[in-house]
Amino acid sequence: MPVLRSHNAALVLDLLRAAGDAGISRLELAERTGLTPQAVSKITARLRTEGMATEAGRRASTGGKPRTVLRLVPSAASAVGLHLDRDELTAVLVDLSGALVAVRTVPLDLGAGADQVIETAAVQVDAVRAEALRAARVRAGARLDMPVGAGRVGVAPTAGTSVRAGAPVPPGPGTSAAPAARTSVASGAEASVRAGTSLRAGMRPDLVAGECDGAQDVLGVGVAMPGPLDHRAGVPGRVTGFPEWEGFPLREALAARLQLPVVLDKDTNAAALGLALRGAGDSFAYLHLGTGLGAGLVLGGGLHRGARTGAGEFGHQVIQLDGPRCDCGNRGCIEALCLAAVARGDLPEAARVLGAGAANLVGLLDIDRVLLGGRTIAAHEACFVRGVGAVVAERARGAVIPVTAAEGGPHPVAEGAAQLVLAPVFGHRRESELG
């Protein structure tokens, strides 16, 4: 996909994305962006030429001829999100609308060394791109009323496409022998083809080819991992339990291996960004409990990283002086207490401890909502929502602060990591704009 040439184009794209399949007219785009109709016409003409926008029909007008409505073409490009957890890696590929196209989860030892982690990540990026390409070809076959395998839709290579069009991504080392990998393609295309149905009979082959091309046109890779880390430099800090990562140029090394742009951020920041873009609100804390414990903060409508990307090290607030030693070196950290309670099966106590930390955040930052996520929360959602909510309500001094499980599926960190790449495409460049 050609590089966007202006912030105005990003504003138009953002409105096209928000409009969804219903689309939006050029006149509405001009009114909402403050641009002139002529400027909007030029921008939308270029977006259509680049395959990012298309006509979505006509809408009745209060006078004159019906207005042509435009919509985003989600399949025109994509982004990959990686969640590097302490014991597993999740890779997702999402389209321009943020919809999940493909996902893979494999075991990972974050302490196995940078070279091995980078190679595992690269293999899974290749694999998730291959899954997305296969899904696009299945959809393409259905739209041309072709049985799967009846022929390959020709796709001409385009500038900036980092995978050869018309050729599947070759599996990297170990990909074909990864029985533990959990793979899914977020598409009903296979079922449609098996049933012999056509999604859109008579669809032009060039548009079908464009969809296959878009499945390959990856704008970049967002990487989310435990902190602390330097978001701007793309360098991990002293990751709890894995101090060997401190100072390693992960963003630079992974970009060189993938030959794609890479963005690095903390796992909780990525999840909070994704949730905010889904409409979770302008003031909330996302608390992530899995192999560790951390927080992502959205304050005043912006993702709050702090001056040194150090905000959100929620798990290492000390709530018990002279308590058990934490992997970070301190004693009585909320992470150590909470994980210990989980390990011994005392989930109500784990929820009570987490609630104490959540109540501290509410009191310090005056946030509107607390969202809970992570593997441990997902496995015991009702217990944690109830337990954390009870402590927050008890200490909120009359304020009503909702405590709920985060919405949006089982991969909030990986999908949020993909949004680290997509957010600037739609004009969310500044911290205050969730970028």
How, if at all, do strands 293-299 and 302-303 pair?
Answer: antiparallel
pLDDT > 80? residue 214: no
pLDDT in tens, 88-101: 999 999 999 999 99
Which pLDDT score is estimated for 180? 56
Judge if the upstream peptide bond of residue 228 is cis by omega within 30 degrees of 0: yes
Tokens of 255: 């970009």
Q: Which of 152, 134, 153 is nearest to 208 (CA)?
A: 153
Nearest residue to 398 via CA among 354, 373, 366, 426: 366
Q: What number is the average pLDDT over the span 216-227?
A: 93
Closest C-alpha among 101, 203, 187, 185 to residue 146: 203
pLDDT at position 432: 41
Please indicate whether residue 236 or residue 164 has the higher confidence score (pLDDT): 236
Closest to 102 (Cα-Cα) out of 110, 94, 90, 112:
94
Of the listed ranges 14-18, 58-62, 299-303, the one predicted with least confidence: 58-62
Of the pLDDT bands very low, low, confident and very high (cuts 50, 70, 90), residue 285 is very high
Average pLDDT, whole number, for the chain?
Answer: 83
**CA geometry: angle 284, 347, 404, nearest 5 deg:** 25
Q: What does the pLDDT read at residue 183?
A: 62
Is residue 169 over pLDDT 60? Answer: no
pLDDT digits (tens, 9 = 90+) for 293-345: 999 999 999 999 988 888 889 999 999 998 999 988 899 999 999 999 999 99
Q: What average pLDDT score do residues 23-28 get? A: 94
> CA 240 from chain center: how many Å?
23
Inter-residue contact 319 to 358 (CB < 8 Å): no
pLDDT at residue 4, rounded to an integer: 47
Burial class (CB in 10 A: 0-12, 13-18, 19+), 41: middle
Q: How far apart are the first and last CA of the chain?
A: 20
Tokens standing for 130? Answer: 């291959």
pLDDT-based confidence at residue 63 (cuts at 50, 70, 90): low
Stronger pLDDT, 336 or 193, i.e. the higher one:
336
Q: Residue 39 class from Cβ within 10 Å (0-12 exposed, 13-18 middle, 19+ buried)?
A: middle
CB 393 within 8 A of CB 326: no
User: Among 230, 228, 232, which residue's Cα sits nearest to residue 242?
Assistant: 228
The rounded percent of the chain whose pLDDT value lies above 70 is 79
Q: What is the pLDDT of residue 131?
A: 92
- pLDDT over threshold 60, residue 208: no
Dump pLDDT digits (tens) for 105-153: 999 999 999 999 999 999 999 999 999 999 888 877 765 554 444 333 2
The string over 292-318, giving b where at least 16 C-beta atoms fall within 10 Å of a residue's C-beta and e elsewhere, is bbbbbbbbeebbbbeeebebbbbbbbe
pLDDT in tens, 355-408: 999 999 999 999 999 999 999 999 999 999 999 999 999 998 888 999 999 998
Residue 11 has pLDDT above 80, yes or no: yes
CA distance 349 to 390: 12
Instruction: Name the band, by pLDDT with cuts 50, 70 and 90, for residue 196.
Output: very low
Can you give the pLDDT at residue 5?
Answer: 54
